[in-house]
Chains A and B, each alone.
Chain A
């Protein structure tokens, strides 16, 4: 990572190019990620979107993008990327598109599409070794429809469809591992609260080819039930407690880019969010908190 131009926080872009005025919620962790990513990618890209919160970025006649955008459908953004990439390559081959006019093809979806309906199209794009970047803003639920649980919802979280005392009974799908199993060009987790780590990873992904995933934890004030001002704090806690490991996959190897030491207790992260309030009141559910802690511990034991 020392080969990137982003050595210190002061190296981060000072000029921000994503247009303001979008309808995203105040404190949106996903939007924070997108603007940081867009600053590094630049405007010469075409964003291929699937149904989710970010579909509302481009509401006629307003768009925050200086470059291009194509909304497809919830299930098939990677197939849209295939069509655009192939179309651009055909034009280049025929001399109808110059090198300077070429675009980076970037899929932008939430966790609902990435882990569920769009997974078949994603896997297909990886089979075909499509040259594209996939940015998933993971707010751990179907946020745009009011935060029902998705395959990316963490265990015990309260969502609009898991309101019982135990919260969501399932466990978060390991999208990182699913991607890595396809042996793609690059896979990385990021969070907007760690902008230097994010910038380095985007820069690295840009320099590689093939399918590349940037999986961003996207703290969601509305869906996770916390004050918008705490958005960065929550992101930092996710990293510090080890719940959101920052890592990357290149050439068959997984490397952790930030190992929290000492690791804070997961309860610090859980307690900061309304979606886990039922674990602390009316009575503290020690067993479940311990179980969540144990899963995180087991993960890091394997890393250490």
Chain B
């Protein structure tokens, strides 16, 4: 085990390398590109035996990834934002093939307006495709989850592709200390893939991706993918324990931080959740009973674990780094469906939307969220959904608006 400073992208590349990937179909996009650059340098330097091919689009990249997976080789690929959506059709398609592969998505806000900074609308737009989704909060989790992702995807009870998500900038370009296990240690956790019936070869006919014209049969196949995905919860827990035995730290579908005795719980996914942990620590110092619950698995969604973790809490604040126009925060809706009708459901389930397009969430804002929820618990009135957006931000936007609509005297004339 070697502890080094690595960016989230570097950790993803290390995860792929240690997983001994066979095949890397690629396409560059910010902020993911460093992953494929790093892997390509290793391939050229003969440190990694892998075939890399740059396709002409993410749609083709995912097609090639899935098609290669059907031959039984271990496939890795990565994209971000617009690329993920460009490949969207193939995410659904490949998931239906029931073959394993791992896709890293480096979250970045979606156009329009086009941006480079992160939020989770890209990955949540792919919520329903059938890929399992692992969401990382630290660079260490990126590496570890990549290894677990292959076990999960290749597990006979699952056999679905897995998406590992990390936030652009806040993880992708941020260095943190990361424990890099040795190849020998990883080989003990992640053996070569035994593809079994997944193979194209002469003498063994296989028709894959076939048409199913009749609703009843379609329902069966689609629901089977759902059931396999649900199996992923227990499999992830098992793998998390096995990982702990070999590496010394464990993984679970939920990260529960100070939540056991908490009265108020924050729920969020991704790297901003560590900021929430910082706020929890500060509030705990002042005697507030607050905690954090962070789903690492978003698909399958750990419903039972969430119910258990949130049972009897007085108030829950869901902080969504995403927005479904016309509805609001996506996780808030997911949580409501998890908790509704359960005997010990928290009375207050408040919705906050923040961090869109990489907008920061300050410690003060976490404190304020706590205050708002505390007040709601006292009054019994759930607050309206709140966008984390200040008067000062609007003032600065007003300045931009005045520029965007300015009538200018010396058009094109220079200074």
Contacts and interface: CB of A to CB of B under 8 A. Distances in A.
The answer to whether any beta carbons of A and B sit under 8 Å apart in the complex is yes
Interface of A: 43-44, 46, 48-49, 55-56, 58-60, 63, 65-73, 75-84, 86-91, 94, 96-97, 100-103, 120-121, 123-124, 127-128
A103 B59 CA distance: 24
B55 A70 contact: no
Nearest to A97: B201
Given A58-B207, A60-B210, A91 B72 contact: yes
B212 A102 contact: no
B59 A75 contact: yes
Interface stretch (B60-68, B256-264, B341-349): B60-68
Contact of A70 (B89, B202, B209, B212): B209
Contacts of A67: 202, 205
Contacts of A49: 209
B90 interface: yes
B196 to A, nearest CB: 13
A68 B200 contact: yes
28 contacts: A44-B202, A56-B211, A63-B207, A65-B207, A67-B205, A70-B207, A71-B209, A71-B210, A72-B63, A72-B90, A73-B93, A75-B59, A76-B59, A82-B60, A84-B71, A86-B23, A86-B51, A86-B64, A87-B23, A87-B70, A87-B200, A90-B71, A91-B72, A91-B73, A94-B22, A121-B55, A124-B57, A128-B53
Contacts of B71: 83-84, 87-88, 90-91
B415 interface: no
B89 A82 contact: no
Contact of B73 (A78, A80, A90, A128): A90
Given A82-B60, A87-B71, A121-B57, A72 B93 contact: yes
B51 A79 contact: no
Nearest to B64: A83
Interface residues of B, number: 40
A81 B73 CA distance: 15
A77 to B, nearest CB: 8
B67 A72 contact: yes
A81 to B, nearest CB: 7
A64 to B, nearest CB: 10
Interface string B58-99: 011101111111111100000000000000011001000000
A124 B60 contact: yes
Contacts of A60: 210-212, 217
B25 A82 contact: yes
B55 A84 contact: no
B212 A87 contact: no
B208 interface: yes
Contacts of A65: 205, 207
A58 B211 contact: yes
Contacts of B55: 79, 82, 121, 124
B56 interface: yes
A70 B211 contact: no
B68 A84 contact: yes
Nearest to A64: B207
Which 8 residue pairs spanning A and B have beta carbons closest together? A83-B67, A87-B71, A124-B56, A79-B60, A83-B64, A71-B209, A83-B68, A87-B68
Given A101-B202, A102-B202, A70 B208 contact: yes
Contacts of B89: 73, 75
A62 B71 CA distance: 21
A173 to B, nearest CB: 19
A58 B67 CA distance: 17
A75 B51 CA distance: 23
Contacts of B209: 49, 69-72
B211 A59 contact: yes
B227 interface: no
A75 B89 CA distance: 10
B51 A80 contact: no
B53 A84 contact: no
B51 A90 contact: yes
A78 B41 CA distance: 27
B381 interface: no
Contacts of B206: 68-69
Contacts of B64: 79-80, 82-83, 86
Contacts of B210: 58-60, 63, 69, 71
B63 A79 contact: yes
A82 B90 contact: no
Nearest to A122: B56
A292 B72 CA distance: 51
Nearest to A127: B56
Contacts of A78: 60
A79 B59 contact: yes
A296 B70 CA distance: 45
Contact of A59 (B65, B73, B212): B212
Contacts of B59: 73, 75-76, 79, 121
Among B57, B209, B213, the most chain A Cβ lie within 10 Å of the Cβ of B209
A87 B70 CA distance: 8
Contact of A89 (B51, B56, B57, B90): B51
Contacts of B45: none
Contacts of A76: 59-60, 63, 90
B67 A82 contact: yes
B132 to A, nearest CB: 21
